[in-house]
Chain A
Amino acid sequence: MRTGISGQTWLSSSSDAGTSEVAAAFGRLANELGNQDAVSRIAPLLERYNLGLFRLVIAGEIKKGKSSIINALLGELNLLPTSNQIATSTVFKIMYGERKTYRVFFLPEDPDRPEDIQPPLEVSSDQVAEFGTEDGNPGNAKRVDFVGVQLPHPLLKSGLAIIDTPGLGGLQEEHAEITWRYVPKADAVFFVLDSTEAPISREEVHMLKRFLKITPFVFFVQTKTDLVEEGAWQAWKERNLAILGSAIGLDSRKTVYFPVSSTIKHRADSKQSSRDFERSGFAALNSFLQGQLMAAKRRRLAGTLLHAINAEAAGMRRRLNDERLAYSAKTKEERDVLQREFSEAKVRFDSWRVGTYNRIATEFQHALSDLKRMKVEFLQDELDPSPNGALIRPVIDRLRAGGTKARDIDQQAGELLAGLIDSCARITLDIQRSCDEDVARLIAETSERVGRSIQTDLSDTPALQRVLAPCLEMRSLNMPFSLFEDARGALFGGMAGFAMVNLAVSLVFPPLSPFSIMGVGAMSFGTVLTYFHMDVRRREEALGKLQVALSDACRVCQRKGKSALDEALTMAERKAGAAFKEAVKAVETELTRNLEIVAKAQSESKQQAQDELLRLGSLLSRTDAVLRAAAAAIGSLDRSEIVHTAPSATLPA
């Protein structure tokens, strides 16, 4: 296996400024303190940082060289099937694996019974074309969901996962749904153009606009620069940038655009020539991918981890400090004072908790369940399956007004069905988005209210202040992020996602849409006659059949969307409620503990007290060391602007 040419360095973890070391030191400390809770809270973040998957989606029209780019990037000439004749017809997911393998994953026969599927089938590289190309598997008769490819390659090992999509715009229509399934979860989308067929077309502009509505992380690659003179492909690059500017509003100075040649890259690999590597354009692309995109994601994950460690370590420090305070009180009087303080604090807190705080918490729950009800109802209304609804009526009207022949209606049925499912997916996604925003805002507002209430109601109790403020800072909880990642996964979990034998591959990119055309479309339209009769009556028949099929599909989408959204929001409710409860409980525990410590300190001898003080002192300084290291690591993470395409982008979690 090639590791690439000289001058090409793979991402190394040392660029993350010692995050791993900080995490290790923290782990040791927590274990010594017997604080398993802290360890278990940090563990998932640490895992995500270590696994650190970067999801790259390759999209674009047919025969632009998408599969070739991936082969070239990984230095494997025949990894994915490419040829003049065959076209990729299914999704390929490429990840790290010890051994080069191809596994075919199938769709279930019945979309309502997702557990009932053929298990994944391992195939040889010769057999891949039989499942993954239009020639080998026409019309996806073999019901392939995707092909999972594993390759022992350092780039993949450093966290890259690539999705190769079937091209859009060919004579087969079904390939379009990938847009909705994979683009939203992508960390970056490479939109592929070429240097031989034509500059950007209307359809590609249309496609890009859709992509950019979903994610700002869209970058451009122009392939086949070896097939034409430099003047020509440069001119096309200029032209494409101009079109992107005028049609989509992208600033050409900020648009990331790589002209490349996959052929020359392969040559660079076999000749180990850095000149060829430069000329292939992959040097720039690689450097951007690893040096900026992947590194940025890594830094983001590192940042999240370090901040969490920081918060936990700060908590630990505070508790240690309180303990030391208890032990350093020399006289009984001082300890009595401390005891009184802590008791008072506890009492004050309890009354605040059952009073003001309880009120706020209840209001929060109500607001959340109102939101849930509203959103689910809204979804139900939007995905209206009735013939006169906004989704279906215009389609039928248009066909009728245009005098479309019955035969054409039949021919276009698949397309129209796909379009409807498309719309449903888009609407659901939008609602999901707005849910995310609303819930996040609600949580933030509530946290703020609690915080203010603490300020006003409990500010006169210093002991309380010290304990309360950090505990109730909801932002330090890892809930908003991981919850919605999970929710998205559940909402759009899809059929193949869950009952998998090899979970790792499928969960890397849980398919976004449960509305697979293969399932819904086939069953509704399967028995339609091939030829219709000629006159108006027959057109009406055809329209009738079409409308029934569309309604059915819409109903399925509605049902699934509703139940998934409901589930996700219910889970949000539960988790949010639990999170608040936990925070409160943590405070209580600490207050109780403080009292216990004072009592313990009372009962011990002077000598024991001395030893304890020393022990606490050393633990404190270790904690301080961890805090310093974390702060240093956070500080050294480059805070530069993350590269993205649209000027008004919101960053993903």
Chain B
Amino acid sequence: MIPAPIFGYVDQKAALLKFAEQVPALLLRHPLTAHLSLRVAELDFAEALQSRFTVAVVGQMRVGKSTLLNALIGRSLAPVGVTETTATVNWFRYGEGAICNQFRAHWTDGSTEDVPLARVGEWLGQADNAWRTRALDFFAPSDFLRACNLVDTPGTRSTIAGHEEAVQSFLAEVLETESLRHGGRADAVVYAINPVARRDDSNLLRLFGERTRLPGASAYNSIAVVQKWEHLRPDPMQEAQRMCERLRGQLAGKVAAVLPVSGLVGLSCIELPATVWDQIAHLAAGTPQGVLDELMLAPDYFRDDVSDAVISKEGRTELLSQVSWPVLAFAVWMARARGIASGEALHEALWDAAGIDRLRTLLQERFLALAGLIRAGAVLSKARAPCATALLMLREVREGQSALEERARASHEILARAVAKDKEFGPVLAYVEGSLQSVQAEARLAKEVEEELDGIVHRAEREFRLLERDVECLRWLDALWHEAALEELAPEELMELRRLFGQAGPEIGERLGLAASHTGADALEAALGALERWSRRQWRVRGELQSVLEHAVERLLPIINWLDEKP
């Protein structure tokens, strides 16, 4: 186990919040800088960190995007059908109250219309309305939606005219606009795929990368999510993992991560009553192997009249009306494979297998966190001006005060001698003493504020400078990769640099490309090796690449220091 991360986003976020909290208060302490306090306070750091991002879900038709989205939200809101359903670009935002029973249609002519949810069917599949709609807005009081807006898109490869175009124009226009509006920084894209990647998947990712290689998405904020693996046998979870493994190779450089998820299972876990899982567990545990095999052959076999099944034919028919077949089959497999006999344990196992929490965490802790920090970095740079002004003023004050202090002291000395000769100068001396103290206090205050402010600003800048430089280098490497201009870097070296700059994640292990099984000593060794290599290389290249390699060295030094300190 590599020791805990201090290079994660948590610390940077904390540093930023501390800045946001302390600096305005600090500035208020000195009358001269008090007015600057407001300017800093106005920059809403918290908002930058907490504001909502946009996560778009794209992929082939019927790969389960809408279901996945519902699972992330926690309720069935995005319409799901049997054949190609989603026909428009649908936004899902946080909302409370009556607004959740409607949706807003944005027509292509610019007007909007509020429509009751019940009528959503008029916008699905091949409906005419879809043609004239730019986007639809839905609302739900979901915690996940507090963190980000979700966007559902029509699937690609559909024969329905307009669906493919809708996705393309979404990628090109909408995402770009949204990104620019939020200061032009990255949001996340979840690309949902089938267990076997098609040429189209790779094409779409490439296209997507090319088109929006501007402030917007890039390889480091796209995730591939593999769905519809529940029916694979003998072990669906293992098969799903294996597929992800293959896809990581095939989609390398195009997505930051590949993970198996089942929106279908997840949503079922959220929505179905506990009795369903109880029954399934009961069925799996109590029915003899051969009979169960027979039942699980297909849905119509499940409803057969057999003896030895611990749930009657009517009971099973009822069960099948509540839970969809792929979920039922998977749940039965799970119960049998893991020897689960209780509904609760089954529910837990299924929820875990669905991977929804993992996806949420990945999105929030990595992508959205990074996106937030990038935005915050932009805000921070706006705070530089007032802070710099404040520091200048304080220094001036201090210098001015120290000059005064000089003269006051000199005066004090003279007066002290004078008082010794003539007691009448006593009050004058007291006055000068008082003034001297006042000046000294003034200087002290200014000095304190200046030093503290300097300290905070310096620390915040240092934290963010590294991060910003990371992102810049990633972008530059991305551009190189797309342009196929990598004469001086081998592909493995490119991957190594990308990892070092945080593409696979901010933790030390992720930056160094090490697995969880490696120790701190392994990490130190790897880091030292990398340091040696890059520092030597640095002097043999020129231009932008040289400064990128400089940053690599810069990144490695604190990591090495930190690893060295820990035993």
Q: What residues make up the interface of A, taking CB atoms closer than 8 Å to B?
A: 61-63, 84-85, 87, 169-171, 173, 196-203, 205, 225-232, 235-236, 239, 243, 246-247, 261, 263-264, 267, 279, 405-408, 410, 531-534
State which of A61, A84, A406 has its C-beta within 8 Å of the C-beta of B239: A84
Of B26-34, B140-148, B454-462, B480-488, the one contacting chain A is: B480-488
Q: What residues make up the interface of B, taking CB atoms closer than 8 Å to A?
A: 60-63, 82-84, 155, 157-159, 164, 194-200, 202, 228, 231-233, 239, 242-243, 246, 250, 297-300, 320, 324-326, 329, 482-487
In contact, A229 and B157 (Cβ under 8 angstroms) = no
State which of A197, A279, A532 has its C-beta within 8 Å of the C-beta of B194: A197
Given known A228-B326, A279-B300, contact A170–B232 (CB-CB < 8 A): no
In contact, A171 and B83 (Cβ under 8 angstroms) = no
In contact, B246 and A232 (Cβ under 8 angstroms) = no
In contact, A198 and B298 (Cβ under 8 angstroms) = no
Which of chain B's residues have a CB closer than 8 A to the CB of A202?
157-159, 164
In contact, A62 and B483 (Cβ under 8 angstroms) = no
A241 to chain B, nearest CB (A): 12
In contact, A236 and B82 (Cβ under 8 angstroms) = yes
In contact, B326 and A227 (Cβ under 8 angstroms) = yes
Q: Considering the chains assembled together, what is the distance between the CA atoms of A86 and B386 in angstroms? A: 62
Q: List 27 A-B contacts (CB under 8 A).
A: A62-B196, A62-B198, A84-B195, A84-B243, A85-B246, A87-B196, A171-B199, A197-B194, A199-B83, A202-B158, A202-B164, A203-B157, A205-B159, A225-B298, A226-B298, A228-B325, A229-B320, A229-B325, A232-B82, A239-B83, A239-B84, A246-B159, A261-B298, A405-B483, A531-B487, A533-B485, A533-B487
A232 to chain B, nearest CB (A): 6
B302 to chain A, nearest CB (A): 10
Q: Could you tell me the dominant secondary structure of chain B's interface residues? A: loop
Q: Considering the chains assembled together, what is the distance between the CA atoms of A408 and B210 in angstroms? A: 11
Which of chain A's residues have a CB closer than 8 A to the CB of B199?
169-171, 173
In contact, B228 and A229 (Cβ under 8 angstroms) = no
Q: Considering the chains assembled together, what is the distance between the CA atoms of A138 and B387 in angstroms? A: 61
Q: A171-B199, A531-B485 are in contact. List 19 more A-B contacts (CB 8 A).
A: A63-B195, A63-B196, A84-B243, A170-B199, A196-B228, A197-B228, A198-B63, A199-B61, A199-B62, A199-B84, A228-B299, A235-B82, A236-B82, A239-B83, A267-B297, A405-B482, A407-B482, A531-B486, A534-B483
Which of chain A's residues have a CB closer than 8 A to the CB of B228?
196-197
B536 to chain A, nearest CB (A): 23
A234 to chain B, nearest CB (A): 9
Which of chain A's residues have a CB closer than 8 A to the CB of B246?
85
Which of chain A's residues have a CB closer than 8 A to the CB of B159?
199-202, 205, 243, 246-247
Which of chain B's residues have a CB closer than 8 A to the CB of A229?
299, 320, 324-325
In contact, A201 and B83 (Cβ under 8 angstroms) = no
Q: Which of A226, A232, A236, A406 has the most CB of B within 10 A?
A: A226
Which of chain B's residues have a CB closer than 8 A to the CB of A62?
196, 198
B316 to chain A, nearest CB (A): 13
In contact, B194 and A406 (Cβ under 8 angstroms) = no
List the B residue with the shortest CB-CB distance to A276.
B297
Q: Considering the chains assembled together, what is the distance between the CA atoms of A494 and B31 in angstroms? A: 93
Given known A197-B62, A201-B61, A232-B82, contact A84–B158 (CB-CB < 8 A): no
State which of A169, A264, A533 has its C-beta within 8 Å of the C-beta of B200: A169
Which of chain B's residues have a CB closer than 8 A to the CB of A87?
196
Q: Considering the chains assembled together, what is the distance between the CA atoms of A405 and B209 in angstroms? A: 13
Closest 4 CB pairs of A and B: A407-B484, A226-B298, A201-B157, A198-B62
In contact, A198 and B198 (Cβ under 8 angstroms) = no
In contact, B61 and A171 (Cβ under 8 angstroms) = no
A418 to chain B, nearest CB (A): 12
List the A residue with the shortest CB-CB distance to B234.
A84
Which of chain B's residues have a CB closer than 8 A to the CB of A197?
62, 194, 228
Q: Considering the chains assembled together, what is the distance between the CA atoms of A202 and B158 in angstroms? A: 6
In contact, B484 and A198 (Cβ under 8 angstroms) = no
Which of chain A's residues have a CB closer than 8 A to the CB of B196?
62-63, 87, 170
Which of chain A's residues have a CB closer than 8 A to the CB of B329?
227
A28 to chain B, nearest CB (A): 56
List the B residue with the shortest CB-CB distance to A198.
B62
State which of A85, A171, A230 has its C-beta within 8 Å of the C-beta of B299: A230
In contact, A198 and B157 (Cβ under 8 angstroms) = yes
In contact, B197 and A171 (Cβ under 8 angstroms) = yes
State which of A170, A228, A407 has its C-beta within 8 Å of the C-beta of B198: A170
Which of chain B's residues have a CB closer than 8 A to the CB of A205?
159
In contact, A264 and B297 (Cβ under 8 angstroms) = yes
In contact, A263 and B297 (Cβ under 8 angstroms) = yes
In contact, B200 and A198 (Cβ under 8 angstroms) = no
B543 to chain A, nearest CB (A): 13
Which of chain B's residues have a CB closer than 8 A to the CB of A171?
197-199, 202, 250
List the B residue with the shortest CB-CB distance to A247.
B159
Which of chain B's residues have a CB closer than 8 A to the CB of A226?
297-298
Q: Considering the chains assembled together, what is the distance between the CA atoms of A62 and B122 in angstroms? A: 34
Which of chain B's residues have a CB closer than 8 A to the CB of A230?
299-300
List the B residue with the shortest CB-CB distance to A224.
B231
Which of chain A's residues have a CB closer than 8 A to the CB of B231?
196, 227
Which of chain A's residues have a CB closer than 8 A to the CB of B320?
229
A414 to chain B, nearest CB (A): 12
A205 to chain B, nearest CB (A): 6
Which of chain B's residues have a CB closer than 8 A to the CB of A61?
198
Q: Considering the chains assembled together, what is the distance between the CA atoms of A128 and B556 in angstroms? A: 49
Which of chain B's residues have a CB closer than 8 A to the CB of A63?
195-196
Which of chain B's residues have a CB closer than 8 A to the CB of A405?
482-484
Q: Considering the chains assembled together, what is the distance between the CA atoms of A35 and B483 in angstroms? A: 78
Which of chain A's residues have a CB closer than 8 A to the CB of B63?
198
B132 to chain A, nearest CB (A): 21
In contact, B242 and A85 (Cβ under 8 angstroms) = yes
List the B residue with the shortest CB-CB distance to A263.
B297
B319 to chain A, nearest CB (A): 13
Q: Considering the chains assembled together, what is the distance between the CA atoms of A407 and B487 in angstroms? A: 12
Given known A84-B239, A225-B298, contact A531–B158 (CB-CB < 8 A): no
Q: Considering the chains assembled together, what is the distance between the CA atoms of A267 and B297 in angstroms? A: 9
Which of chain A's residues have a CB closer than 8 A to the CB of B62?
197-199
In contact, B484 and A169 (Cβ under 8 angstroms) = no
State which of A170, A201, A263 has its C-beta within 8 Å of the C-beta of B158: A201
Which of chain B's residues have a CB closer than 8 A to the CB of A198?
60-63, 84, 155, 157
A104 to chain B, nearest CB (A): 25
Q: Which of B164, B298, B487 has the most CB of A within 10 A?
A: B298
Q: Considering the chains assembled together, what is the distance between the CA atoms of A85 and B229 in angstroms? A: 12
Q: Considering the chains assembled together, what is the distance between the CA atoms of A538 and B315 in angstroms? A: 70
Q: Considering the chains assembled together, what is the distance between the CA atoms of A62 and B194 in angstroms? A: 12
Q: Considering the chains assembled together, what is the distance between the CA atoms of A84 and B245 in angstroms? A: 13
A265 to chain B, nearest CB (A): 11
B482 to chain A, nearest CB (A): 7
State which of A84, A235, A264 has its C-beta within 8 Å of the C-beta of B298: A264
Which of chain A's residues have a CB closer than 8 A to the CB of B194?
197
Q: Considering the chains assembled together, what is the distance between the CA atoms of A446 and B398 in angstroms? A: 117
Which of chain A's residues have a CB closer than 8 A to the CB of B484?
405-408, 410, 531-534
Q: Considering the chains assembled together, what is the distance between the CA atoms of A203 and B231 in angstroms? A: 25
B429 to chain A, nearest CB (A): 79
Which of chain A's residues have a CB closer than 8 A to the CB of B202?
171
Q: Considering the chains assembled together, what is the distance between the CA atoms of A634 and B232 in angstroms? A: 52
Q: Which of B82, B159, B202, B250 has the most CB of A within 10 A?
A: B159
